[in-house]
Structure 1
Amino acid sequence: MSHTMRKEENALHDNELGRVIPCNELDWSDPFTWLKLAMVDLTRAPLVTLFYGIIFTLIPMGIVYLVSLTENHLVIAPALVCFMLLGPFLAAGLYDASWEFGKGRKPSLWHSIKAIHRNSVHEWAFAVLLLVIMIFWLRIASLIHAFYPPFISNDFSELIPFLVIGSGVGALLAMFVFTISAFTQPILIERKVDLMTAVLSSINAVWSNKLVMILWAAIIFVGVLIGFLTNFIAFIVIMPLLGFATWHGYLDTITTKRKRNFM
């Protein structure tokens, strides 16, 4: 797939925080190509797919179960959002499997698990960053809970402020996390760069391809929604598929000085 380099159109520029890796200009069809390539990876790596798919399924199931023990079901949604915030970090092993295929090798489960240690300091720093955002979201969610009415009338009108504010804040936070994390983890896995360089490069890539990345975010949202509607069972396939696709999206979007010899 060929794209036109557009370094001169980068939304961000190198600064004191870190440098910005240039990105390519994406086409509307690219996200669907990423999914097609991801489907190939998924079928070629059944063990890796099943392992991470089960993890992505059991964690939200566990969250719902533990929250149900508190008899406060209003915190289930914020807790699940927290899980989704950590998703990019958990998907490191999936990126590694796709990378191994790209290099003509057969991925192994153990190799994918060790992927987190390839750039460990900055990858763990990224996990801490997501954790801080998760804690922030939980605090905001507890404040929004104050808008929940003590009792609900038949027309549910009292719920409107709660739903509007909760949905609005959740959407803004999701957009922010998507922007800073869309390609951060793949960058950290493949390249020996610092966290801020990876984050700034992700922000630049998303902002420089706003409409296409909105489409990609919508695809991810639909996938997550299907997972929720199936009591998370569909995550066994959907989350690995999105993980593999994200790696191919990264290869398609973030440029290199030299052509990759494994593509």
Structure 2
Amino acid sequence: MHTFPTSSRYNDITAPSMRRADLDVPALAAFSWLRRGARDLTLHPAASLVYGGLVTATGLLMLAFGAHPYFLAAALTGFVLVGPILGVGLCELSRRDESGLPVGFDESLRALRPNRRPLLQLSAVLALAAVLWFLVSIGLMRAWLGPLAPSIEASMWNSRFAQLGLEQWSYWIGAGAVFGLSCFALTVVAVPAIIDRGVSMAAAMRASLATVAAHPIPCLIWATLLAVLVVVAFASVVGLLLIFPLLGHATWHAYRDLTMRR
């Protein structure tokens, strides 16, 4: 377990004060988080791009089987929901840099061992959420619209985006947005809280919910930017190489601004 700072700069992550909008967080703070995330990426490119490369390789593998819309939806929604866990090492890089500690890929892995249990629990919850969303969304659209797409064999020879109509995509995206925002509210500061404070998964999720309740506008804008950048990353595929580490670093700065007094 970490030993955490006791300076007045730090609030108790589970304190009742976290439920009030008593921190001055501008509505457009998300753009500052991205800017600071980009700075961390340029300061530590080697370690950061290792994570970007690992996620890019995984994304390419998923999309290699993604000609069918079911597979495409699974890849995108799974990444959005499980992405916070994949960014643990990037948050640790930013945390260590801010604290003046040695920074490198090996050092970024040090957050895993002392926080293994809550991180594994959070991983399991997010993975379950990704599977649940996929199954529920497919079930709903089959009930509303009938068979959603042609056979897998036929899909392999056609454009994946041409297989669904505008109405079908609208239902899918709308349902995914509701589900994604729910998961976002539970995890917006969960990973940084775990690695920085050593809190339990439940405490980290409570802190995330309190953070969203206290700062709904900055959090909504942050969630929108995350969704847009993930779509851009998958659209270019190799964009994951840069966009994923950018978001991982920015997540740390979001946590700092949303939960800690200056």
> Which band: TM-score by shorter chain?
0.7 to 0.9
Report the Cα distance in structure 2 between the residues aligned to 1:250 and 1:104, rounded to whole angstroms: 18
Report the Cα distance in structure 1 between the residues aligned to 2:40 and 2:18, rounded to whole angstroms: 32
The residue number in structure 1 matching 2:158 is none
Equivalence map 1:1-263=2 (5 Å): 10=19, 24-68=23-67, 72-146=68-142, 147=145, 148=147, 159=165, 161-230=167-236, 232-255=237-260
- The letter of the residue matching 1:42 is L
TM-score in terms of structure 2 length: 0.81
- The letter of the residue matching 2:216 is K
Report the Cα distance in structure 2 between the residues aligned to 1:145 and 1:93, rounded to whole angstroms: 37
Cα drift, residue 32 of structure 1? 1.9
- The answer as to whether partners of 1:7 and 1:23 remain within 8 angstroms in 2 is no
Moved more, 125-134 or 135-144: 135-144
Moved more, 102-111 or 124-133: 102-111
Cα drift, residue 25 of structure 1? 3.7
Gaps of 5+ in 1: 12-21
Report the Cα distance in structure 2 between the residues aligned to 1:224 and 1:150, rounded to whole angstroms: 24
- The answer as to whether partners of 1:183 and 1:246 remain within 8 angstroms in 2 is yes
Percent of aligned pairs sharing the same letter: 23
Moved more, 38-47 or 87-96: 38-47
- The letter of the residue matching 1:35 is L
- The letter of the residue matching 1:52 is Y
| Count of aligned positions | 235
The residue number in structure 2 matching 1:16 is none
Cα drift, residue 56 of structure 1? 2.0
Say if 1:160 and 1:45 are closer, same or farther in 2 by CA, change over 3 A.
closer
* SS of equivalent to 1:117: coil
CA-based RMSD: 2.6
Cα drift, residue 7 of structure 1? 5.5
Say if 1:131 and 1:23 are closer, same or farther in 2 by CA, change over 3 A.
farther
- The answer as to whether partners of 2:89 and 2:108 remain within 8 angstroms in 1 is yes
Cα drift, residue 67 of structure 1? 3.8
Q: Deviation digits for residues 99-130 of structure 1, max 9, x if unmatched?
A: 11111133111121232223111111000110
TM-score in terms of structure 1 length: 0.80
